[in-house]
């Protein structure tokens, strides 16, 4: 499928990304995003006129957002661990 080309990052590109993600401002921003998404999950309840399916879809979406943020944060951590070995 041409819309999703198979791409691989080079070692240099991974290092550049890890450096950017290790910036304290970027890490802080990612943690703020995760906090806000997590807070919305904890405080959520079905809205007026919202079906259970719609509510559960929204929860799944928010959990997906947290998963993406966690993956981004773990990429930086994994590169640091690789560099120290």
Return the pLDDT at 78: 61
Residue 64, CA distances (Å) to 37, 48, 55, 61 in order: 10, 24, 14, 5
Residue 3 lies inside a defined structural domain of this protein: no
Residue 39 lies inside a defined structural domain of this protein: yes
Q: Is the pLDDT of residue 45 over 70?
A: yes
Return the pLDDT at 74: 87
Residue 1 lies inside a defined structural domain of this protein: no
Return the pLDDT at 10: 94
pLDDT band at 3 (very low <50, low <70, confident <90, very high): confident
* SS3 state at 58: helix
- By percentage, how much of the chain surpasses pLDDT 90? 58
For the entire predicted model, the pTM comes to: 0.73
How many domains is the chain built from?
1
Residue 10 lies inside a defined structural domain of this protein: no
What is the rounded end-to-end Cα distance, in angstroms, of the chain?
37
Q: Is the pLDDT of residue 36 over 90?
A: yes
Spacing of C-alpha 78 from chain mean position: 15
- Please give the residue range of the domain that contains residue 80: 22-43+50-84
């Amino acid at each position: 499928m041409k819309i999703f080309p198979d791409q691989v990052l080079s070692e240099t590109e991974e290092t550049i990304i890890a450096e950017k993600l290790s910036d304290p401002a970027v890490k802080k921003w990612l943690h703020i995003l995760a906090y806000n998404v997590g807070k919305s999950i904890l405080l959520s309840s079905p809205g007026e006129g919202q079906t259970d399916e719609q509510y559960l879809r929204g929860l799944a979406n928010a959990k997906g957002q947290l998963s993406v943020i966690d993956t981004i944060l773990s990429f930086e951590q994994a590169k640091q661990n690789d560099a120290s070995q």
